[in-house]
Structure 1
Amino acid sequence: MHKKRSIFGCGIMLLAGVCLAGAPAGKKTAEQRPNIILILADDMGYGDLGCYGQQMIRTPNIDALARNGMRFTAHYTGSTVCAPSREAMLTGKHTGHTAIRGNFLTDEKEDPPMPSGKVTIAELLKSVGYRTGLVGKWGLGGERHGPEKQGFDYCYGYLDQIQAHNYYPPFLYENGKKVMLPENADGKEGAYSHRLFVEKTMQFLDNARKDEPFFLYLPYTIPHGKHVIPDNSAYADKDWPEQMKNYAAMISLLDADVGRILQTLKEKGLDKNTLVIFTSDNGANPGFGKFFKSNGASRGQKTSLYEGGIRGPLIASWPGKIQPGTVSSGVTAAWDLLPSICDAADIKKPAGLDGISLYGAWTGKPLAGERPYLYWEYYTYNYNWDKPGVTLPRNWLESRAVRSGKWKAVKKSTPDGKSAPAELYDLSADASETTDVAAANPTVVKQLEAIMKKATIADASYFPYKK
């Protein structure tokens, strides 16, 4: 393996990929391959969990997951909003190389589809005999472009991310077909979607067999808005605004259901051979960041590329493989999960990935060395683009960010394409990004701006939208 040292100091090396086409499976048998559960919270900051310092919201089961496994303290999400973050995680590519680079609504008022040629974690695992399932929010395409087209044997939930704002939807989708929910017809609130998701999750686990490994992707919508929940009594005694009680109760409900999943694995004798990963898609909204310190001490929030928008929790537990109670300060990103899962399942990785494998760290070895940079770009969507008198475009490249070693640059743009001067932060001395040191480090700024130019390719039909 060829090592490339970053001129910016400590980082992680980018591993060379191996082409998937025609690649034989690894040496492990079906019974030896681990089951894999990937849980993705929605709009939850890393600071919302007790194991990351939360003082007001109770998360005992996720905290226990961290104690029984590995907690990463410098993990980055795929993006600062949901759709691109999901593609980055599922494909092992950062947002300079993804097709979806911001939230967007097509003329049909649904999410643009991720191209069918993109290879997902589910497709890779399915190719070696995994039973694959998704329960929750897809967010990468509407009807005829759902998860059943991207390697999932079973899927249940929302397709479109806007529909997922309603926790009492009139319908959901199961295996690509619309399923009406009469309990929620005509605005009734009889079936809370998260509870339906947990029921389907339990059904999937009930059907699990020891001779057939499974991959279960759980992109639950909690605690994304609307911030409603049938019962917030766990925080009824708090002198908080109702929305804050609901938010806390939603996270505690998610935590309880993580506990239920772990207990079910134990009861079925599957816990010893199941890798459980918990993470989030982006940082929390500013109101919760302020009230609960949901984004820790980080600057920014969802929709920004400061640390508060793209820092997230990452916890991995795998009995017998991951040493309980370990903590990693290595810099990791959502696009690392695909190669990591490939190594865990003993299958070859596709070529051209941006992610590196965390498998070595999971099994007691150092991270894979150094890589030159991490990169993000974010397109904002103008939801009022078609309103009378609106002159702003439908979307535009709002910001870019690159991290290399201790340095992080953030560069913002206006709707007409003009870029502001790059901001530069020394994260080793200023983790909260309070002091822009660009003026004192022009050479570093120039190098990071050069990375921004080479880290992106024109492979995104809707970003920017040119029609």
Structure 2
Amino acid sequence: MKTSTLSRALVLGAASVPALTAVSCDKMPERKPNVIFILMDDAGYGDFGCYGQTRIETPNIDSLAARGIRFTDMYSAAPLSSPARCGLLTGMHTGHAQIRANDEMTARGDVWNHEAMLRDSTLEGQAPLKAGTPTLGSVMRQGGYRTAMIGKWGVGGPATESTPNKMGFDEYFGCICQRQAHCYYPPFLWENDRRIYLDNELLPPGTPLDEGADPLDPHSYDKYTQQTYSPDIMYDRVLRFVNENRERPFFLMWTTPIPHSPMQAPDEMVQYYVEKFGDEAPIEGKGYFPSRWPHATYAAMITYFDRQVGGLVAELKRLGIWDDTIIVVTSDNGPASNSCSSTEWFQSAHPFRSGKGWGKSSLREGGIRMPFIVAWG
């Protein structure tokens, strides 16, 4: 099905919920439907089975596509995270949007120093939206919805007027700063306007293997796996929000950092794909973290998240609100090409090219044409 840009379609749908009835039955239910908007980070058009992926298993997302609508011509507002999220949240194309790049606001100080950022929260975050900017969150709240975002924000920092709670979301949990999302075992996340410290030690992105470590020995990578995997605690908050608001209409944006670099996933799932793909060469992951099995780990991240989507669907059915809930699955921009990238091997932008200059950061199809699935009960 063809449609207009992702951002415009969503703002129109948020302003008037009946705009989404095409994915449902002939008439609206008595209560407003819940809306769960799942935004992945750097997932490509071809990263899912329902879009032609043959190496990565995504049965739950494929099931949503089979029972709903799988869009083929949906476009992001921009090929980078912050401007894409700005366009999505506000409905503005990049000619009118307030944020047009990944602006880390380096005039504040050493913003790329994760130790400094841990000490000083004013170094967190990217360029903000202007105070009072209408967003999907504020429009849905005005429409009578309880609103929440769980995951990555990326359009403002804790010291600005552009935090999720000030931009229409009643509840927030996740990483406000996208630089913090460059590690899946962070020392803290944000719950509304305060930090929640986790049982992880700070390990700054870019930390290499120990000197003299054997890159072929899996144990050389042990320090990159800590106690709390951030996608797990975000998923727990998703389920909690759904349970707490099951009696009233809610709008939830689940903005997972998966599968953005670095390559980090639970070992059980990684080993599943090591057996499936066979051995492979490790990577240094410059700027992020090394990985013993980068292809297997990329696939593991996506399949692991797919299982969480399946768990959410099961919970909606258990609560008796599955038929009252619209689920959207998409990505902010196309697949990355960096020191961790496996996207050319997976043909993550298929049928378009992946790789440097063709996916993320590019205005070619691989950078801006998005997977987009809408299912209703």
TM-score (norm 1): 0.61
Report how far residue 297 of structure 1 moved. 2.5
Q: Distance in 1 between matches of 2:29 and 2:335?
A: 39
Report how far residue 174 of structure 1 moved. 0.3
Q: Distance in 2 between matches of 1:276 and 1:53?
A: 21
What pairs with 1:229-378 in structure 2 (closer than 5 Å)?
A: 229-231=265-267, 232-237=270-275, 238-239=277-278, 240-241=280-281, 242-286=293-337, 287-299=341-353, 300-319=358-377
Report how far residue 186 of structure 1 moved. 4.8
The answer as to whether partners of 2:294 and 2:342 remain within 8 angstroms in 1 is no
The secondary structure found in structure 2 opposite 1:185 is coil
The answer as to whether partners of 1:30 and 1:213 remain within 8 angstroms in 2 is no
**Which string of whole-angstrom CA distances, capped at 9 and with x for unpartnered residues, describes residues 44-91 of structure 1?**
101010000001000000000000100001111121111111111111
1:196 is aligned, of 223, 226, 233, to 233
The aligned amino acid for 1:99 is Q
Q: Distance in 1 between matches of 2:251 and 2:43?
A: 23
The aligned amino acid for 2:41 is D
RMSD over aligned Cα atoms: 2.6
The secondary structure found in structure 1 opposite 2:97 is coil
1:137 is aligned, of 147, 152, 155, to 152
Q: Distance in 1 between matches of 2:75 and 2:34?
A: 24
Q: 1:31 to 1:199 in 2, by over 3 A?
A: farther
The secondary structure found in structure 2 opposite 1:134 is strand
Aligned pairs, number: 303
Q: Distance in 1 between matches of 2:35 and 2:97?
A: 24
**Which string of whole-angstrom CA distances, capped at 9 and with x for unpartnered residues, describes residues 127-181 of structure 1?**
1221101100000111043101101111000011111111111111001111111
Report how far residue 289 of structure 1 moved. 3.1
Report how far residue 30 of structure 1 moved. 10
Q: Distance in 2 between matches of 1:153 and 1:31?
A: 24
Q: 1:221 to 1:12 in 2, by over 3 A?
A: closer
The aligned amino acid for 1:164 is A
Give 2:55's aligned residue.
56
Give 1:387's aligned residue.
none
The answer as to whether partners of 2:149 and 2:255 remain within 8 angstroms in 1 is yes
Q: Distance in 2 between matches of 1:222 and 1:43?
A: 8
Q: Distance in 1 between matches of 2:63 and 2:101?
A: 34
Q: Distance in 1 between matches of 2:190 and 2:298?
A: 26
Q: Distance in 1 between matches of 2:152 and 2:317?
A: 26
Q: Distance in 2 between matches of 1:206 and 1:272?
A: 15
The aligned amino acid for 1:39 is I
Q: Over alpha carbons, which structure has the higher Rg?
A: 1
The secondary structure found in structure 2 opposite 1:129 is coil
| Residue identity (%) | 41
The answer as to whether partners of 1:30 and 1:129 remain within 8 angstroms in 2 is no
The aligned amino acid for 1:185 is E
Q: Distance in 2 between matches of 1:222 and 1:311?
A: 18
Q: 1:120 to 1:207 in 2, by over 3 A?
A: same
The aligned amino acid for 2:94 is T
Report how far residue 97 of structure 1 moved. 1.1
The secondary structure found in structure 2 opposite 1:173 is strand
Give 1:223's aligned residue.
259
The answer as to whether partners of 1:31 and 1:213 remain within 8 angstroms in 2 is no
**Which string of whole-angstrom CA distances, capped at 9 and with x for unpartnered residues, describes residues 340-395 of structure 1?**
xxxxxxxxxxxxxxxxxxxxxxxxxxxxxxxxxxxxxxxxxxxxxxxxxxxxxxxx
Q: Distance in 2 between matches of 1:143 and 1:220?
A: 19
2:200 is aligned, of 175, 181, 184, to 184
TM-score (norm 2): 0.75
Report how far residue 282 of structure 1 moved. 0.6
Runs of at least 5 residues in structure 2 that lack an aligned partner in the other structure? 19-26, 112-124, 204-222, 282-292
Q: Distance in 2 between matches of 1:234 and 1:274?
A: 32
The answer as to whether partners of 1:139 and 1:159 remain within 8 angstroms in 2 is yes
Report how far residue 121 of structure 1 moved. 0.9
Q: Distance in 1 between matches of 2:328 and 2:252?
A: 10
- The reply on whether 1:170 has 2:206 as its aligned counterpart is no
The secondary structure found in structure 1 opposite 2:165 is helix
Q: Distance in 2 between matches of 1:67 and 1:119?
A: 33
The aligned amino acid for 1:135 is I
Higher helix share: 2
The answer as to whether partners of 2:246 and 2:319 remain within 8 angstroms in 1 is no
The answer as to whether partners of 1:283 and 1:308 remain within 8 angstroms in 2 is yes
Question: Which deviates more, 29-38 or 197-206?
Answer: 29-38
The answer as to whether partners of 2:3 and 2:74 remain within 8 angstroms in 1 is no
Report how far residue 185 of structure 1 moved. 2.6
The aligned amino acid for 1:228 is Q
Q: Distance in 2 between matches of 1:176 and 1:199?
A: 19
The secondary structure found in structure 1 opposite 2:46 is helix
Runs of at least 5 residues in structure 1 that lack an aligned partner in the other structure? 1-9, 320-467
The answer as to whether partners of 2:84 and 2:332 remain within 8 angstroms in 1 is yes
The aligned amino acid for 2:272 is A
Report how far residue 234 of structure 1 moved. 2.0
Q: Distance in 2 between matches of 1:25 and 1:168?
A: 37
The secondary structure found in structure 2 opposite 1:313 is strand
Q: Distance in 2 between matches of 1:89 and 1:176?
A: 23
Give 1:431's aligned residue.
none
Q: 1:271 to 1:225 in 2, by over 3 A?
A: same
**Which string of whole-angstrom CA distances, capped at 9 and with x for unpartnered residues, describes residues 270-303 of structure 1?**
1101110000011102343310010002131111
Report how far residue 206 of structure 1 moved. 1.3
Q: 1:11 to 1:282 in 2, by over 3 A?
A: closer
